[in-house]
Amino acid sequence: MAPLKEQTIFRNAKLADGSLVDLTVTEGRFGAIVPAQKMADLAGIDLGIVDLAIVDLGGQLVVPAFVEGHIHLDTSFYGDAWRPHIPCTNGFDVRERVAFQTRNLAAAAPMAERAKNQLELCIGHGSLAMRSHVMVDGSVGLTHLETILTVREQYRDLIDIQLVAFPQSGILASPGTPELLEEALKLGCDLIGGLDPASFDRDVKGHLDVVFGLAQRHGAGVDIHLHDGGTSGLFQVEEIAARTRALGMQGNVAVSHAYGLGDIPTDALLKAGEMLAACGIAIMTNAPGNHAFPPVAALREAGVTVFSGSDNIRDSWWPYGDGDMLSRANMIGYRSGFYEDHELAAAFDMVTHAGAKALGLAGYGLAVGASADFVTLSAEHVPEAVVAVPKARTVYRRGRAVAKDGKMLTH
Ligand SMILES: [Zn+2]
């Protein structure tokens, strides 16, 4: 006899449009989404072959699981001893911060333990897909990646993780890094990263030649850290766009931070927005506290996919971060001056659907056939969830509850 199929009926789920529905989840995927109380007949058809469970959600808001689009699993000290932030000596300086990080990491708890702490923080708050940058360069070789690959494997039933080979010490400035990045892609990295081609390596062409050359050879995506501001930042975005277009990589390239888009004149920004949309380049911003950052509304208006991530949590760059992408949507809305419902919904979109698009996730969302990864929230609707950030929530992975109110239920 064939094994019983598992099916769960979730009754009385409120969707973003305010409708009350029942959802079936069969073998981890949404099977049907119908108006509440209309499910009885439909479920009866399968009763002979399913192991059936029924969960009444009591009218709670149901949203797709959050997408954590930019994090560093290898360098956080979350759950480890508190490390007071060390200020740069003369304003923000990436090289100086990397040096502080090296010193801090030498005295940190084992990386696997810290990465797991951070992962469970994120899953607990409802993120079930993630893109993590992992240091791969001449200073640490492949050691960080080897650890994070193992952790990814251990958590694969709980969260989908994309890894970016991230040259934290530069590509040209750190001997052996191009070869290490190539090896990282062979070992299982999904994307190739980069870091301030102009200010760090001081060679935009040389830096991007390595990044896009590797991407092309390995069919990998690209996600580049770009802190450089003003016209230098814009110039590098244009160079990244030109290569993306030339290689036909539309939809597979992201620029993280892109601070420069936040401090250029409006006409230049609109032109950049059109170019980014045409090239299918996504922009990641975490609404950092003391920097100009890409204007979310204007870029979205231009058709750019704008997504978000926690970036640093309790690490050598800053002490903030709680692993909650709903809280991140709140921060983005707050810093962007979003007050209207459609604006709050846009901030929410950045941590859900836009994030899924930027990461190229297949089968995402509350739709028949999609993976049943969702979160229930005690909120009337999405705009209220963004401003109130209710911490009471249950996180479902493939239809099974895995976390409640910030705490893991399994593992
Ligand atoms: Zn980062």
Q: Are residues 281 and 378 in the same domain?
A: no
Is-above-0.85 flag for pTM?
A: yes
What pLDDT digit, counting tens, does each position of 18-71 carry?
A: 999 999 999 999 999 999 987 655 554 555 556 889 999 999 999 999 999 999
* Domain span holding position 139: 66-359
| Cα–ligand 1 centroid distance for 298 (angstroms) | 23
Ligand 1 mean position to 69 CA, how many Å? 10
The full 3-state SS of 236-263, as one line of letters, equals HHHHHHHHHHHCCCCCCEEEEECHHHHC
Q: Are residues 58 and 74 in the same domain?
A: no
Q: Give kind and range of the element (H or E) at residue 359.
A: helix 353-359
Q: What is the whole-number distance in angstroms between the Cα of residue 368 and the centre of ligand 1? A: 34
The rounded Å distance from CA 328 to ligand 1 centre is: 15
CB 220 within 8 A of CB 192: yes
On whether both 295 and 379 belong to a single domain, the answer is no
pLDDT of residue 1: 57
Instruction: Strands of 140-287 (E only): list them.
Output: 160-166, 191-195, 221-226, 253-257, 281-284
In this structure, the answer to whether residues 217 and 126 fall within a common structural domain is yes
Question: How many angstroms is it from 57 CA to the middle of ligand 1?
Answer: 36
The verdict on 124 and 205 lying in the same domain is: yes
End-of-domain residue from the set 324, 340, 359: 359
C-alpha 143 – ligand 1 centre gap (Å)? 18
> pLDDT grade, residue 290 (50/70/90)?
confident
Tell me: do 311 and 353 sit in the same domain: yes
219 Cα–ligand 1 center, Å: 22
207-253: pLDDT as tens digits: 999 999 999 999 999 999 999 999 999 999 999 999 999 999 999 99
What are the pLDDT digits (tens) for 216-226?
A: 999 999 999 99
**Are 32 and 94 part of one and the same domain?**
no
Q: How many domains does the chain have?
A: 2
Please check whether residues 148 and 24 belong to one and the same domain.
no
Nearest C-alpha neighbor of 311 from the set 54, 138, 82, 78: 78
Determine the distance separating the centroid of ligand 1 and the alpha carbon of 310, expressed in angstroms: 9
Exposed e or buried b per residue across 328-353, where buried means at least 16 C-beta atoms within 10 angstroms of its C-beta: bbbbbbebbebeeeebbbbbbbbbbb
Instruction: Work out the average pLDDT over 265-279.
Output: 97
Query: Do both 161 and 72 map to the same domain?
Result: yes
Quickly count: other Cβ atoms within 10 Å of residue 363's Cβ.
13
- CATH value at residue 248: 3.20.20.140
- Helix %, strand %, coil % of the chain (to 5): 35, 25, 40
Query: Distance from the CA of 71 to the center of ligand 1, in angstroms?
Result: 6
Phi, psi dihedral angles at 312 (to 5 degrees): -95, 135
Sequence-separated (6 or more) residues with CB below 8 Å from residue 326 = 66, 125, 126, 348, 351, 377, 385, 386, 389, 390
Q: Which residue has the higher pLDDT, 94 or 375?
A: 375
**Domain co-membership, 333 together with 204:** yes
Q: How far is the CA of 105 from the centre of ligand 1 (A)?
A: 16
Tell me, yes or no, whether 31 and 102 share the same domain: no
Return the axis-axis angle of helices 177-187 and 204-218, rounded to nearest 10°: 20
How many angstroms does the Cα of residue 166 sit away from the middle of ligand 1? Answer: 9
Phi, psi of 58 (to 5 degrees): 60, 30
How many angstroms separate the CA atoms of 162 and 307, rounded? 15
Last residue of a domain, one of 359, 383, 400: 359
Q: What is the CATH number of the domain that holds 369?
A: 2.30.40.10
Residue 169's pLDDT is 93
User: CA-to-CA distance for 407 and 385, rounded, in angstroms?
Assistant: 19
CA of 72 to the centre of ligand 1 (A): 6
DSSP bridge partners of 255: 224, 283
The residue among 399, 393, 387 whose CA lies nearest residue 347 is: 387
Domain identity same for 398 and 266: no
